[in-house]
Amino acid sequence: MTTDEIMSLALGMSGYRRVPEDSAIFVPGNGIRKVLFGLDVSTAELQLAKTLGVDLVIAHHPPATTTEIWKVFLRHVEFMTAAGVPEDAALAAVAEKVEGLKLRGQAANYDHVPSVARLLGIPFMNVHAPLDELGRRRMREQVDAVLTRGRATVGDVVEALRALPEMRAAHTAVQLAMGEGATPVRKVVVAHGAYTNGGYPVARTCFAHGIDLVVYIHIDFGELQRLRAEGRGNLIVTGHLAGDSLGFTPFLRELRERGLEVTTFSGVIEPTA
């Protein structure tokens, strides 16, 4: 396979029509058979890949914040408006983070890791939002199955997410970070696949507009404390590696079905079963 074919596969599976700003082919390659796939790839991991003799390294997380990456964070606006949050409120909820990401993009050395891949002559790419979208859909399916049963509680949603094999295999547990398990739930936003979690402003805006429960894969403690101080809404945190790995499983299956030999590392949870 070529790096273009591998990127197209990820885009096609997740419904992306173009490569989002948090994903890229840094060093293209073709005739790829052996792949190293991990969450975080830096310069040492590229050297490791060279030592292992692989043909391509695929990272999940972008190797640096680029100037355009804030655009992916706007996915939160789509999640919120789809759940009935007015667009102006949704845009206000992401405004501060967008500004911060723009500044970080100005500061970051976006070329450091890719430049090492070029010098080593090793094909290198990262696929972020498309794989997170695959994971979001799997969580959404679990949530919708609970909601359509009727008389659902927050605790039922926690249980449904815990049942996913990647969640069971992880060292972390799906956690009700805020709220009560017995609380009835009708409207849920699974806010994953938008570069990073929406923190305090996105969850608060959801709760202010009739959403009972928000699902993140992780959140900063300070942001959680701000939400708790307001005492409204329910928040589930799935665990980072578990949540990310939900999107890897279907993608890795497709790569292997195409004859690629994929070695996983750096936090990829592959459920055995």
Q: What are phi and psi of 77, to 5 degrees?
A: -65, -40
Q: Shortest CA distance to 7 belongs to which of 64, 67, 58, 62?
A: 58
Min. distance of Cβ 247 from Fe ion in angstroms? 7
Based on CB atoms, which residue is closest to Fe ion, 73 or 207? 73
Q: Shortest CA distance to 169 belongs to which of 265, 269, 39?
A: 269
For residue 167, what are its two tokens?
């969640």
Based on CB atoms, which residue is closest to Fe ion, 113 or 185? 113
Determine how β-strand 24-27 pairs with β-strand 124-126.
antiparallel
Min. distance of Cβ 109 from Fe ion in angstroms? 20
Based on CB atoms, which residue is closest to Fe ion, 21 or 132? 132
CB 110 within 8 A of CB 65: yes
Based on CB atoms, which residue is closest to Fe ion, 58 or 147? 58
Min. distance of Cβ 243 from Fe ion in angstroms? 7
Min. distance of Cβ 132 from Fe ion in angstroms? 4
Based on CB atoms, which residue is closest to Fe ion, 54 or 129? 129
CB 251 within 8 A of CB 262: no
Based on CB atoms, which residue is closest to Fe ion, 152 or 174? 174
Q: Name the residues that contact Fe ion, by CB under 5 A.
A: 132, 244
Class of residue 60 by CB neighbours under 10 A (exposed 0-12, middle 13-18, buried 19+): buried
Min. distance of Cβ 194 from Fe ion in angstroms? 10
Residues in the chain: 273
CB 35 within 8 A of CB 47: no
Min. distance of Cβ 267 from Fe ion in angstroms? 9
CB 23 within 8 A of CB 72: no
d(CA 128, CA 130): 6
